Amino acid sequence: MTVAPISGRISAAPSELLHDEILAPQFRYEAEHLLPWYIAIEKVLALEYGRMGTVPAELVSRIGRVLSGVTAERISASRTGNMSDIAFALERFLEDHLDVTVPGWHADRSRNDLQSCAQLMFGREQLLDTAEHLLALARTVHRVAGDHLDTPMPGYTHLQSAQIITPGFYLSAVCEQAVHSMNRLLATYDGIDRCPLGAGAMAGQELPWDRNRMARLLGFREAGPHALTAVASRDWALEITAEFALLGAALSRFVTDLMTWGGSEYGFIELPDELSGISAAMPQKRNYPVLERIRGRTAHLSAFHLDLVLGQRNTSYSNSVEVSKEAGTHLLAACTTTRSVLRLLGSVLDDVRFDEARMLRVCEREYLGGFTLANLLTLDEGVPWRRAQVIAGRYIVAATARGLAPRDVAPDLLRETALEAGFALTDPGGALTAAFDVRANLRRKTSSGSAHPGAVRELLAGQAVRLDELATGCEQRRDRVRDALAGIDQRLGL
């Protein structure tokens, strides 16, 4: 079978196997996800050809009009017509729909920077979409946190009950992580916001292309300064998936706590029926498989990142299909999975109900004021800190052995314990009452960022400001690209 004259080097069309296994699926993927970017780039090329005088000015608008008519339904992979390559398909579409020949069209051009630019524009949009999903999750978490500033719950270290916190305090940590990750995502966006167009195959081009002008027309901050880096590097994909993997690791830890709190031994949270599951065999069970799904999907984010890393590792530093296409096979999956995790977790936190009475009972059952008791023995009774820790610990052991709950104040027992250690206490009852009052204990924290309701309220206020700033940042970046792309058609007179 003779191939249409695209290249003089190869005279046979791609084999059916190559077409069916590689070229056609790649074509369909790019037609579905990258076509708008390819069209925008081709329009900018038309404008630049017009500026350089390579294409007559009267034809530039006509080229733009034809390109505006390209849709995924109007182009298709063809072994003989375009070698099942979307760049060649666009060339052929233009040739077929113009009634004149334009010799200068695509002069001094390469597919390498064209593909690199389209892929980066797609990745840039995916990154911004994901950042906006993360922003939505952060706002949900922020709202729920504000509803639980005064609700005591046990906090755990080393999986053991440790200190009194609140759901608001805990969720403000989730919000803080979201803000941190948002900052990193937008920093990544800005770091990759360099246009590859005009870099050519690897060493630059021969016509006087204005690369910064083309970059601005496509909504980029600037042109990539190095031609080889522009077409060889796919670091931007690694950076995006690295951020998703880091975010997934953090979210998996938060979800693990939710899974623990939702277990029957804890019973701190409950999800509505719409987010719950059942056991096929045990009618008493109420399961939360949605949490298992979320945590399971965060593992994919690390796997997707590693897949992209291994796809690029040990390849030569130049443009190659292995890096530009095969290594990025799961980039879209990484983006969509991240957004799925964020939507699902947002739904869970939007509908979660905390069992305040049960959490309070656990706080009252556990000796969570041990740290406070040691502090009081040091600050009010003059007991050296480490010795105060010993006295407090021995008191808790003795009280537990007697079956006393934390609220069962036993000043004589504390006095006796202290005397055994060589210290006479003036007010053991006051120390015990202050240490093991659950709500008072929560408010004893005075440092910024603590679990004190006032400190959490202050933290949430600052987070609200930062979330608004991040939302503005997302909008500004999106508007810049949207306005730039709209300006292309205006310049073409369309």
| Residue 133 sits in the same domain as residue 273 | yes
Domain assignment present for residue 479? The answer is: no
Residue appearing with tokens 């593992």: 299
Quick check: 146 pLDDT over 90?
yes
**Domain limits for position 66:** 16-107
pLDDT digits (tens, 9 = 90+) for 416-457: 999 999 999 999 999 999 999 999 999 999 999 999 999 999
User: Considering 46, 73, 107, which residue would you say is the last residue of a domain?
Assistant: 107
Domain assignment present for residue 310? The answer is: yes
| Residue 227 sits in the same domain as residue 154 | yes
Q: Under a CB-based contact definition with an 8 Å cutoff, are residues 200 and 225 in contact? A: no
Q: Point out which residues pair with 277 in neighbouring strands.
A: 287
Predicted confidence at residue 494, as pLDDT, reads 86
Domain assignment present for residue 197? The answer is: yes
| Residue 26 sits in the same domain as residue 175 | no
| Residue 251 sits in the same domain as residue 272 | yes
| Residue 77 sits in the same domain as residue 140 | no
Q: What's the CATH number where 197 sits?
A: 1.20.200.10
User: Considering 60, 89, 107, which residue would you say is the last residue of a domain?
Assistant: 107
pTM, rounded to two decimals: 0.94
Domain assignment present for residue 411? The answer is: yes
| Residue 411 sits in the same domain as residue 424 | yes
| Residue 103 sits in the same domain as residue 116 | no
The average confidence (pLDDT) of the chain is 94
Predicted confidence at residue 284, as pLDDT, reads 74
3 state SS of 164: strand
pLDDT digits (tens, 9 = 90+) for 32-69: 999 999 999 999 999 999 999 999 999 999 999 999 99
Quick check: 108 pLDDT over 80?
yes
Domain assignment present for residue 481? The answer is: no
User: Considering 387, 404, 435, which residue would you say is the last residue of a domain?
Assistant: 435
Q: Locate 285 and state its tokens.
A: 């069970």
Report the alpha-carbon distance of residue 166 to residue 150 in Å, rounded.
Answer: 7
pLDDT digits (tens, 9 = 90+) for 227-277: 999 999 999 999 999 999 999 999 999 999 999 999 999 999 999 989 878
Element (H, E) at 270: strand 269-270
CA-nearest of 135, 181, 213, 199 to 478 is 135
| Residue 53 sits in the same domain as residue 121 | no
Report the alpha-carbon distance of residue 334 to residue 354 in Å, rounded.
Answer: 32
| Residue 281 sits in the same domain as residue 170 | yes
The whole-number average pLDDT for the span 476-483 is 97
Considering all CA atoms of the chain, what is the largest pairwise distance in Å, rounded to the nearest integer? Answer: 104
Please state, for a pLDDT cut of 70, what percent of the chain lies above it: 98
Domain assignment present for residue 218? The answer is: yes
The whole-number average pLDDT for the span 387-392 is 96
| Residue 221 sits in the same domain as residue 286 | yes
Domain assignment present for residue 489? The answer is: no
Quick check: 102 pLDDT over 50?
yes
Quick check: 5 pLDDT over 80?
no
Contacts for 151-159: CB closer than 8 Å, 24+ residues apart: 151/354, 151/356, 151/359, 152/359, 152/360, 152/363, 152/438, 152/439, 152/442, 153/268, 153/354, 153/359, 153/362, 153/363, 154/359, 154/362, 154/363, 154/366, 154/368, 155/451
The whole-number average pLDDT for the span 200-207 is 94
Quick check: 3 pLDDT over 50?
no
Total tally of structural domains belonging to the chain: 3
Predicted confidence at residue 2, as pLDDT, reads 43
| Residue 169 sits in the same domain as residue 249 | yes
Quick check: 323 pLDDT over 80?
yes
Domain assignment present for residue 193? The answer is: yes
| Residue 261 sits in the same domain as residue 151 | yes
Q: Locate 94 and state its tokens.
A: 């233009």
